[in-house]
Structure 1
Amino acid sequence: MPTAHLIHGYLGAGKTTLAKRLERDAGAVRFTVDEWLTTLYGDDEAGIEPDVGTLSARLMTAMEPVWARCLTVGVDVVLDLGFWSRELRDLTRQRVEACGATAKLYDVRCADDVAWQRVEARNSDPAGSLRMVRNTFEVLKAKVDPLGPDEPHVVVDTTNA
Structure 2
Amino acid sequence: MCGPAGAGKSTVARRLEEDGMVRLSFDQEAWDRGIRSMPLPSDLRREIEAELRARLESLVAEGKDVVLDFSFWSRRTRDEYRQLLRPLGVEPETIYVATSREVVIERMRARRLAHGDDYTLPDETVAEYFDHFEPPTEDEGPLIVI
TM-score normalised per structure 2: 0.85
Q: 2:10 aligns with which of 4, 16, 35?
A: 16
Matches of 1:95 and 1:141, distance apart in 2: 26
Q: Find 1:136's aligned residue among 109, 112, 125.
A: 125
Is the 2:137–2:143 contact (alpha carbons within 8 Å) kept by the matching residues of 1? no
Aligned length: 144
Over 3 Å counting, the alpha-carbon distance change for 1:155 and 1:54 in structure 2 is farther
Q: Is the 8 A contact 1:42 1:130 kept in 2?
A: no
Change in 2 beyond 3 A, CA 1:107/1:54: farther
Task: Go from structure 1 to structure 2 and tell me whether the alpha carbon gap of 1:39 and 1:71 turns closer, same or farther (over 3 Å shift).
Answer: same
Return the match for 1:33 from 26, 30, 35: 26
Shift of 1:41: 5.5
- Of 145-154 and 16-25, deviating more is 145-154
| CA distance, structure 2, for counterparts of residue 133 and residue 41 of structure 1 | 20
Q: How does 1:70-89 map to 2 (within 5 A)?
A: 70-89=59-78
Uncovered stretches (5+) of structure 2, i.e. residues with no partner:
none
- 2-structure distance, mates of 1:70, 1:43: 27
Q: CA deviation at 1:139?
A: 2.4
Q: Which residue of structure 2 lines up, in the alignment, with residue 69 of structure 1?
A: 58
SS of equivalent residue, structure 1 residue 8: coil
Q: Secondary structure of the equivalent of 1:150? A: helix
**Partner AA of 2:139 in structure 1:** D
1:142 Cα deviation (Å)? 3.3
Q: How does 1:141-152 map to 2 (within 5 A)?
A: 141-151=130-140, 152=142
Tell me what 1:3 maps to: none
Contact 1:8-1:106 within 8 A present in 2 as well: yes
In structure 2, the CA distance between the partners of 1:74 and 1:127, relative to structure 1 (3 Å rule), is closer
SS in structure 1 at match of 2:92: strand
Q: Among all aligned residue pairs of Structure 1 and Structure 2, give the percentage whose two residues are the same amino acid.
A: 30
Distance 1:52 1:86, change over 3 A: farther
Query: What RMSD, in angstroms, separates the aligned Cα atoms of the two structures?
Result: 2.1
CA shift for structure 1 position 140: 2.2
Change over 3 Å in CA distance of 1:72–1:117 after alignment to 2: same
2:36 corresponds, among 37, 43, 51, to 43
